Amino acid sequence: MWLPKDERKVLAYYYKELHKSGMETRGQFFVSELENCLSGNDKRNRVKIAGKMLKRRNLLDFYNDQHNSVTVQLSLEGYDLGRKYSSLWTKSGLWFAEFKHHWILLIVGFLGGIIGALIVNWLSDGC
């Protein structure tokens, strides 16, 4: 499953922090720390929206949701997906699984660039 960027980053952050602390699926987080995993404007609102969407997808659940502190428990699917998103290699595998025909466009674009460069080089040498 390929999630939107904010949801991917928040889920990967939850997984990394839970894995680092030794707690496998449940831990307490501060919203101010979660804001650091995103870039851009209105981070607090984007973190809350990403969390709500992840909950709707049944990837995590919230307990003791206070103003700046929240206890999060990852579901089995959320834990597995967070593990995949935390590694660049497995994240690219997820992307290719979701958009499996895009590699053809990548190869065609690369070959088209080479052919275009050769044509430009050939035309510039002819003048």
Count how many domains the chain has: 2
Domain limits for position 124: 99-127
Looking at the domain assignment, is residue 92 inside a domain? Answer: no
Whether residues 75 and 112 share a domain: the answer is no
Whether residues 79 and 23 share a domain: the answer is yes
Whether residues 71 and 115 share a domain: the answer is no
Taking only the tens of pLDDT, the chain with its 127 residues reads 678 888 888 888 888 888 877 767 777 787 788 888 888 888 888 888 888 888 899 888 888 777 778 888 888 888 888 887 777 766 666 666 666 666 677 788 899 999 999 999 988 886 6
In the numeric block, the tokens 């404007």 are attached to 41
3-state DSSP assignment of residue 73: strand
Determine the distance from the C-alpha atom of residue 97 to the mean position of all C-alpha atoms in its chain, rounded to a whole number. 14
What phi, psi does 11 have (nearest 5°)?
A: -65, -40
pLDDT of residue 115: 95
Reported pTM: 0.65
Whether residues 45 and 79 share a domain: the answer is yes
Tell me the CATH number at 36: 1.10.10.10
CA pair distance 48, 54, nearest whole angstrom: 10
Looking at the domain assignment, is residue 93 inside a domain? Answer: no
